[in-house]
Amino acid sequence: MPKIDVYNIEGKKVSDIDLKEEIFGIEPNENIIHTVLVNYQANQRQGTQNTKTRSEVSGGGKKPWKQKGTGRARQGSIRAPQWIKGGIALGPKPRDYRYRVNRKERRLAVKSMLSMKVLEQSLVVVDKIPFNEIKTKNMVTALNNLKVSGKTLILLPEKNEFVQKSARNIKDVKTTLVNTINVYDLLKYNNLVVTLDTIKKLEEVYA
């Protein structure tokens, strides 16, 4: 069972906590992580690209010249793909790229990423983030006290306007909630900062 130190926002150790083995101590499954990541990225695609075929562009009702006797190649329409302003052959059309990955795979991918953060020692646990005002300076100070630098994801158990808005203007820092966590963010951000309430919520959801 993994054990990790717990700090306050002043950066001082206040206790330690045992993390559940089945969430924070499993062998990371890289294949599942890749599968779920590709699914997430596919689901983000808008699929609104569009090109017009020869039947959709204007003009081309009349044959440009007669079939034989001109010395030129035969042509049926000035809107064929080889003509300027002609239609596009085999071009992209609007489509939906979404597809589903089953729930067990999604959960395993998240647990694999959480376990990876523990193995990489990039999981930082704070007892609480007691902000009572929206102030970017407070968040910057807290992260500096915790010696957290670089891309950082702050995972909250529920919405907290003071924390979320204090972090939103800091470069490479993002806040998210337990119920919206995804593999893409866990991979993108090197550091993961959580509170004790977040740990409790994760263990409730993923146990």
Q: What is the pLDDT of residue 207?
A: 78
Residues 36 and 91 grouped into a single domain: no
Q: What is the pLDDT of residue 61?
A: 84
Residue 25 has pLDDT above 80, yes or no: yes
For 35-147, strand residue ranges (E) read 123-126
- Nearest one of 117, 144, 152 to 7, comparing CA atoms: 144
In 3-state terms, what secondary structure has residue 39? helix
Residues 142 and 188 grouped into a single domain: yes
Residue 121 has pLDDT above 80, yes or no: yes
Residues 41 and 52 grouped into a single domain: no
Residues 125 and 145 grouped into a single domain: yes
Q: What is the pLDDT of residue 60?
A: 81
pLDDT tens track for 146-169: 999 899 999 999 999 999 999 999
Residues 53 and 30 grouped into a single domain: no
* Domain C-terminal end among 96, 112, 135: 96
For residue 172, the enclosing domain spans 3-45+99-206
Please give the Cα distance from 126 to 150 (Å, whole number). Answer: 18
Mean pLDDT to the nearest integer, 177-203 = 95
Do residues 24 and 115 lie in contact, with contact meaning Cβ atoms separated by under 8 Å?
A: yes
Residues 132 and 167 grouped into a single domain: yes
Do residues 79 and 57 lie in contact, with contact meaning Cβ atoms separated by under 8 Å?
A: yes
* Domain C-terminal end among 62, 96, 130: 96
Residues 132 and 30 grouped into a single domain: yes
pLDDT tens track for 48-104: 999 999 999 998 888 999 999 999 999 999 999 999 999 999 999 999 999 999 999
